[in-house]
Amino acid sequence: MIKPHGSDELNPLLVTDAAENQKLQDEAKGLKSLTISSAAAGNAVMLGGGYFNPLTGYMNKADILSVAKDMKTSSGLFWPTPVVNMVQDAGDIKAGDRIALKDPNVDGNPVIAVMDVEAVEELSGDEMVEVAEKIYGTADTEHPGVEAFLTAGNVAISGPIKVLNYSYFSTDFGDTYKTAVEIRDEIAKRGWNKVVAFQTRNPMHRAHEELCHMAMKRLEAEVLVIHMLLGKLKKGDIPADVRDDAIRKMVDLYFPENSAMVTGYGFDMLYAGPREAVLHAVFRQNMGATHLIVGRDHAGVGDYYSDFGAQEIFDEVPAGALELEIFAADHTAYSKKLDKVVMMREAPDHKKEDFVLLSGTKVREMLGNGEAPPKEFSRPEVAQILMDYYQGLES
């Protein structure tokens, strides 16, 4: 089975021993506390579930700047995006403190982790912009990821953490949320050797579905893991529960039994394009996948990234840094000529009008009007779930 990134064994940071967990919860009541950002809480969840192996906590300033510039920590570990706990003001928190980190996304702000603070460091305005430009390719605050990063604060509180729970993900998405540990264990139990991961923050239309079938067939994979983001998204994106229902309906009706696992992870979308694609590869390797489908504008937003920048960045990954391989996919669409979904680069004799192509804006408009997109674009059963959602917004 594929090894985790950076270690021989997966080292999740969730405290699973009930007595120790309770002891830490009791201790946290007497500690200095800090209500962290949603992004930092998502990082804690990812660390807790083993997705960010082999990290042991939040990065310090030297690691933040090194990862942004060179995709490696100051100790040389390959890593594509900073894993941070940024705040506006650290107050009286200082190096050497043991503090309780409170969850901003759950009522009552329960403690999500206990942290041993190693450093409290300020990044200058120029350094914050430099990090944004390296990670997101822009410092434009119209970019949702940049806006979230630059407004969270410029003070980095770093150090190892012990995670006490998985925030709202394990309760609100009980059937879907899975840790890297759980997915890796299921893969080992089933004896699967080739596992393809498909990342999504959106419902899957016909082209996505067929792309997954193509990847499985060409790679001779035993299983597909549909791995959806369950955290915070930008305004206008489909909520996780609706997306979950739509994807499960598609899998139930159009995938052979036991050929696809529908799962999700607890993290806020970065919209960091190429850098986020590499992060996706890192934590998919940690969960046991051998391949990740990377398509056009993977993890992108707006017009900030080139169509295939998320594939090209893997040429910059040092040899041996990752064991997982990518399945580089072209834009897929339904061919009227061939009466099936194809990768557009594999149909050189086609013109644009030979494909069924709809913009996201057009699809949302149709769904909101109670009009199903063409069956070549979206499965009718999936479209119905999305129509119900969009019409509910207007009622």
Whether residue 286 lies in the annotated active site = no
Q: 202 catalytic, yes or no?
A: yes
Evaluate whether 13 touches 162 at the Cβ level (below 8 Å): yes
Query: What was the pLDDT predicted at 392?
Result: 85
CA-nearest of 156, 29, 148 to 84 is 156
For β-strands 355-356 and 332-335, DSSP reports them as: antiparallel
pLDDT of 360 reads 77
DSSP sequence for 76-105: --B-SS----EES--TT--TT-EEEEEPTT
104-126 pLDDT per residue, tens: 999 999 999 999 999 999 999 99
Q: What is the pTM of this model?
A: 0.95
- Look at residue 100 and tell me whether its pLDDT is greater than 80: yes
Q: What is the pLDDT of residues 249-268, one digit of tens each?
A: 999 999 999 999 999 999 99
**What is the pLDDT, as a whole number, of residue 141?**
96
Please write the tens of the pLDDT for every residue from 216-226.
999 999 999 99
Contacts by residues 254-262 (CB-CB < 8 Å, ≥ 24 positions apart): 254/209, 254/379, 255/224, 258/223, 259/216, 259/223, 259/224, 260/212, 260/223, 260/224, 260/225, 260/226, 261/183, 261/186, 261/223, 261/224, 261/225, 261/226, 262/176, 262/226, 262/228
| 8-22 pLDDT per residue, tens | 999 999 999 999 999
Assign 319 a pLDDT band (cuts: 50, 70, 90).
very high
Give bridge partners of residue 261 from the DSSP assignment.
225
202, 206, 218, 296: the catalytic one is: 202
Q: Going by C-beta distance under 8 Å and a sequence separation of 6 or more, which residues neighbour residue 266? A: 42, 45, 46, 49, 166, 167, 169, 177, 230, 231
Query: Cis link prior to 348 (omega < 30° from 0)?
Result: no
Residue 233 — very low, low, confident or very high, per pLDDT cuts 50/70/90?
A: confident
Query: Degrees (nearest 5) of the Cα angle 352, 386, 202?
Result: 65
What tens digit of pLDDT does each residue of 167-189 get? 999 999 989 999 999 999 999 99
| Measured distance CA(60)–CA(196) in Å, rounded | 33
Per-residue confidence (pLDDT) for residue 241, from 0 to 100: 92
What pLDDT is recorded for position 364? 84
Percentages helix, strand, coil for the chain, rounded to the nearest 5? 35, 20, 45
| Arithmetic mean of pLDDT, 136-160 | 97
SS3 label, residue 2? coil
DSSP state of 238: P
Query: Is the predicted pLDDT of residue 395 greater than 70, yes or no?
Result: no
Q: What is the mean pLDDT of residues 207-221?
A: 96
pLDDT digits 0-9 by tens, 330-362: 999 999 999 999 999 999 999 999 999 888 778
pLDDT, one tens digit per residue, over 40-70 is: 999 999 999 999 999 999 999 999 999 999 9
Amino acid identity for residue 233 in this structure: L
Whose tokens are 């390719």? That residue is: 137
359-383 residue pLDDT tens: 877 888 898 889 999 999 999 999 9
Which residue out of 21, 98, 109, 201 is catalytically annotated? Answer: 201
Residues of the chain with pLDDT > 70: what percent? 99
Query: Please, what are the domains in the chain?
Result: 18-170 (3.10.400.10), 174-394 (3.40.50.620)
Per-residue pLDDT band at 145 (split at 50, 70, 90) = very high
Q: What are 266-287's pLDDT values in tens digits? A: 999 999 999 999 999 999 999 9
Average pLDDT over residues 192-201: 96
DSSP run (H or E) holding 275: helix 274-286
Q: How far apart are CA 194 and CA 290, in angstroms?
A: 6
